[in-house]
A and B are shown apart, each in its own frame.
Chain A
Amino acid sequence: MKSKAAVLYGIDQPWVVEEIEVDDPKANEVLVNWKVAGMCHSDEHFVTGDMVPPKELLAMMGVDDFFPFIGGHEGAGVVVKVGPGVSSLQVGDHVSASFVPSCGRCRYCSTGRQNLCDLGAGTLTGGMITDGTHRHHVKDGRAVKMMAKLGTFSEYATVAEASLIKVEKDLPLDCVALVSCGVATGWGSATSRADTQPGDTVVVVGIGGIGVNAVQGARMAGAKHIIAIDPVEFKREKAMEFGATHTFSSMTEAIPHLMELSWGQMADRVIMTPGVLHGDMMGEAMTMVGKGGTCVVTAISPMDETSADINLFQLAMWQKEVKGTIFGSLNPRADIPRLLDMYRVGDLKLEELITKRYPLEDINEGYRAMREGENIRGIIVND
């Protein structure tokens, strides 16, 4: 069938909204009509090239050209068709995208770490999870790769069952879309990975779609102080609405205040959620971590960056730890429904995250607004 989609043809180019061809689902695949797509910073990383694998790496994976590429990995939609062997979904079901698939059978899925599912290995290589072939083609017939094998910047997409989580129909799809990546990633960074405890002092660096949810997570986990750091005033204001107790425009500005606020003990948890993380930011981040404290690295760094400014003497002597996380160390199949239920009872703010809605045609305007710091989260809505 035909579908409208936002296609990226190369680094530093705009998204091109055009018609693509979508094939029917094969075994263990589902055709989804994406109703809502979140405009996450991770998709922007393909425009800037931060997340485009270098040529040599692509060659190793048997991929000659990374582009054309359809973005979008935060999404919610409705099942239109199911392929043979699909057992967890039916036509008409509402689904959340899950940018890490969960097979439910590998070692990681089997031990409560679905965010590390072995099927995630091929996320950037293109081709279906099921059999490695392509279901999406641009006008000239070339196969097009899909962000996280989801491509929520397309109205219709054929997706593996392993990447879809069924959700109840009473939930607004724009809220479902937000939970599918940014909310879970931020919230889990504070709760599951940082393991924020009642009474903790928590610092969140960078208040976008991830950071603001790390603030929510820290609040729900009982943090005493939540210090939100962002250079943009609008975002600092937003952070206060989501539960921050203090805000600062930079780590440099925050450090002396943190010292005073904590009687010199500094923060129990520091969560790194800037738009792009560079190794030279880690020095100040680690300065903010107290004895026995934890620094969680959630943000994306450029793929080829290999050094971080960390004082290893202090790491050892003050027993600090640095921990990475993907998807906030949560389990998509358990935690996406769990977070949506917290929204239902009013504990989790979701509507308040949406700054502006855009039709797919305005995707480039939406990303401009994100770059300028105008949005906490912009979303694409397909009518």
Chain B
Amino acid sequence: MKTKAAVLWEVNAPWSVEEIELDAPGPGEVLVKIAASGMCHSDEHLTTGDLPFALPIVGGHEGAGVVEAIGEGVSWLSVGDHVVFGFIPSCGRCPSCSTGHQNLCDLGALMGLGLQISDGTSRHHAQGKDLTLMCMLGTFAHHTVVNEASCIKIEKDVPLDKACLLGCGVVTGWGSAVYAADVSPGDTVVVVGVGGIGANAIQGARLAGAKRIVAIDPIEFKREKAMEFGATHTATSMTEALPLLQDLTWGTLANKVIMTMGVGDGQLMGEAMALAAKRGRVVVTNIHPAFEMGGANMSLLDLTLMEKQVVGSLFGSGNPRADIPKLLGLYREGQLDLDGLVTKTYPLEGINEGYQDMRDGKNIRGVLVYE
């Protein structure tokens, strides 16, 4: 069949919205009519080359839609089911999946190839070429064919243009606070960078009972947004935050520091560590350039003597199959704000405008909504 998709043909070029050819789903695969897709910073990393994936590629990995057809052997989805895509697949059988760490599913190893999990080929084609898929999903398109391992079935009462955010940003941010940082009631938490991830780290810290949440962002609009999501204080930089934090905590500093910037910078780790209290934990959630030079600038003596911890986190250390339905439940009960995350919606054709708005710091989250 034919569908429309945003394709990246080369690095540093705009997204090309064009008609592509889509094959029928193979064994274990489903055809999904996508309703909406979040515009995550990670897809921007494709265009800058920070994430060196094979091109041409259909971007997008934060999506939700309705199953239109199923391939042979699909056992847990039916036509008409509503699904959110997990940006990491979960097979349910590998050692990571079997011990409650689906975010580290062994199938994730195939992600960089952007081809189908079942047989390593492509179902998407344009201009006579095979297309790869961002995170094996390709949600910047009206339809896609993906493996059922990447689909999480959800209830039909949740609007898909909100549910799509659960595929990446919301769980990543929320889980960074709740699981990776393990925020406890009474904690002082710092969130560095208030975009689609950081805003949800704030929501997670609030729900986990943090006493103070200090949100750091240079952009005033984002600091205002942070207060709406539950921050108690804001600062424009870590340098500015340090004296504030010293004052607020009677010198004991932050129990948890969560790094959720647009792009991480190893040279800033020293400043981040300086915000952490004795036994404080710094969570690195944001993407650093794959070939970042110079490593991380931090004192290892400080690490030992103050028993500080540095913890990495992927998908907020959550389990897509458990946490996506769990967070939609919180949304339903009014304890998780998804509506407030969406600053602006765009049609697929508006994708380049949307990313320009992101670069200009105008959006917490832009969302592509397809008719």
A112 touches B100 (CB 8 A): yes
Whether B322 is near chain A, meaning CB under 8 Å from some CB there, is yes
A106, B98: Cα distance in complex, Å: 12
In the complex, what's the smallest C-beta–C-beta distance from B92 to chain A, in angstroms? 2
Query: Quick check: B93 and A104 within 8 Å, CB to CB?
Result: yes
B310-341: which have CB < 8 Å to A?
A: 319-322, 325
Which of A28, A102, A110 contacts B102 (CB under 8 A)? A110
In the bound complex, CA of A105 to CA of B86 (Å) = 13
Name A's interface SS. loop
**5 further contact pairs, Cβ within 8 A, besides A28-B75, A104-B97, A113-B100:** A102-B92, A107-B322, A110-B97, A110-B319, A112-B100
With A and B bound together, what is the CA distance between A104 and B97 in angstroms?
A: 7
- Residue pair B319, A334 in contact (C-beta under 8 Å): no
B28 within 8 A of A: yes
* Given A105-B76, A110-B321, A111-B322; A88-B101 close (CB under 8 Å): no
Kindly state whether residue A84 has any CB partner on chain B within 8 Å: yes
Give the residues from 70 to 103 in chain B that come closer than 8 angstroms, CB to CB, to chain A. 72-73, 75-76, 90-93, 95, 97-102
A132 is an interface residue with CB less than 8 A from chain B: no
- Give the CA-CA distance A111 to B92 in the complex, in Å: 10
**In the docked arrangement, what's the CA distance between A109 and B97, Å?**
8
Select one of A85, A88, A107, A334 contacting B75, CB under 8 A.
A85
User: Is the beta-carbon distance between B319 and A111 smaller than 8 angstroms?
Assistant: yes
B132 CB to closest chain A CB (Å) equals 23
The digit string for B283-326, where 1 denotes a CB below 8 A from any CB of A, is: 00000000000000000000000000000000000011110010
Q: Which of B73, B90, B98, B99 has the most CB of A within 10 A?
A: B98
Interface residues of A (CB under 8 A from B): 27-28, 84-85, 87-88, 102-107, 109-114, 331-334
B93 CB contacts on chain A under 8 angstroms: 88, 104, 333
Q: Which 10 A-B pairs have the closest CB atoms?
A: A104-B92, A112-B100, A334-B98, A110-B322, A110-B321, A333-B98, A85-B73, A110-B319, A331-B98, A111-B100
B residues 112-149 near A (Cβ < 8 Å) are none
B residues apposed to A, CB below 8 Å: 28, 72-73, 75-76, 90-93, 95, 97-102, 319-322, 325
CA distance A112 to B95 in the complex (A): 10
Q: List 21 A-B contacts (CB under 8 A).
A: A27-B75, A84-B73, A102-B98, A103-B92, A104-B90, A104-B91, A104-B92, A104-B98, A105-B92, A107-B325, A109-B97, A109-B98, A110-B102, A110-B322, A112-B100, A331-B100, A332-B98, A333-B95, A333-B97, A333-B98, A334-B99
Bound form: Cα–Cα A87–B28 in Å: 10
Q: A104-B91, A105-B92, A333-B93 in contact; A112/B99 too (CB < 8 A)?
A: yes
**B75→A110 contact, CB < 8 A:** no
- The contact of A87 among B73, B100, B102, B322, by CB within 8 Å, is B73
**Across the interface, which residues of A come within 8 angstroms of B325, CB to CB?**
107
**Cα–Cα, bound, A87→B75 (Å):** 11
Assess the B95–A334 pair: CB atoms within 8 A. Answer: yes
Inside 8 A of A28's CB, which chain B residues have their CB? Answer: 75
Q: Which residues of A contact B320 (CB under 8 A)?
A: 110
Kindly report which residue of chain B lies nearest to residue A88, judged by CB atoms: B93
Residues from chain B with a CB closer than 8 A to the CB of A85 are 72-73, 75
CA of A107 to CA of B98, assembled, Å: 12
Minimum C-beta distance from B174 to chain A (A)? 15
**Distance, CA A261 to CA B73, complexed state (A):** 60
Choose one: B72, B73, B101; the contact of A112 (CB below 8 Å): B101
Closest B residue to A84 using CB positions:
B73
In the assembled complex, how far is the CB of residue B163 from the closest CB belonging to chain A, in whole angstroms? 18
Q: List chain B residues, Cβ under 8 A from A88.
A: 93
Per the bound structure, the CA–CA distance linking A333 and B28 in Å amounts to 21
Kindly list chain B residues whose C-beta atoms are within 8 Å of the C-beta of A105: 76, 92, 321
Q: Please tell me if the beta carbons of A112 and B321 are within 8 angstroms of each other in the complex.
A: no
Residues from chain A with Cβ under 8 Å of B90 in the complex:
104, 110
With known contacts A104-B92, A105-B92, A114–B75 Cβ distance under 8 A = no
Select from chain B the residue with minimum beta-carbon distance to A333.
B98
Q: Is the CB of B99 within 8 A of A331?
A: yes
> Within the assembled complex, what's the spacing in Å between the Cα atoms of A245 and B75?
51
Q: Return the chain A residue nearest B319 by Cβ.
A: A110
List residues of chain A with CB within 8 A of the CB of B91. Answer: 104
In the complex, what residue of chain A is closest to B322 when comparing beta carbons?
A: A110
CA of A105 to CA of B75 in the docked complex: distance in angstroms?
A: 11
Q: How far is the CA of A102 from the CA of B99 in the complex (A)?
A: 12
In Å, the complex CA distance between A304 and B41 comes to: 57
Would you give the shortest CB distance from B256 to chain A, in whole angstroms? 22
Contacts of A333 in B (CB 8 A): 93, 95, 97-98
A110: B residues at CB distance < 8 A: 90, 92, 97, 100, 102, 319-322
The CA-CA distance from A28 to B76 in the complex, in Å, is 12
In angstroms, Cα B102 to Cα A73, docked, is: 28
Query: Cβ of A331: which chain B residues have Cβ within 8 Å of it?
Result: 98-100
- Determine the distance from Cα of A333 to Cα of B105 in the docked complex, in whole angstroms: 13
Interchain nearest-CB distance for A191 vs B (Å): 14
How far, in Å, is B113 (CB) from chain A's closest CB? 19
